[in-house]
Amino acid sequence: MATGKCPKCERALSNIKVQPVNLVYGPKHLRGGAFVCPHCNTVINVSLDPALVADALRRSSRR
């Protein structure tokens, strides 16, 4: 988890909000999370849902 300052409002990020987002990857829609500054609601980072990534890796390694 990223820690430090928000690049926009420069306040310390002791907490980061995670909002669910849809990631459109070609024809696929993946579930992800947007990491949002709790002070100014700037999106700092977006990442795949970690549980979903683990599941996809597990499935692809079986093939």
**Footprint of Zn ion on this chain (CB under 5 A)?**
6, 8-9, 37, 39-40, 42
Q: Among residues 8 and 31, whose Cβ is nearest to Zn ion?
A: 8
- 55 forms beta bridges with none
* CB of 38 closer than 8 Å to CB of 15: yes
For the bound state, the minimum distance from the C-beta of residue 61 to Zn ion, rounded and expressed in Å, comes to 39
For the bound state, the minimum distance from the C-beta of residue 9 to Zn ion, rounded and expressed in Å, comes to 3
Nearest to 31 by CA among 22, 39, 40: 22
Q: Among residues 32 and 36, whose Cβ is nearest to Zn ion?
A: 36
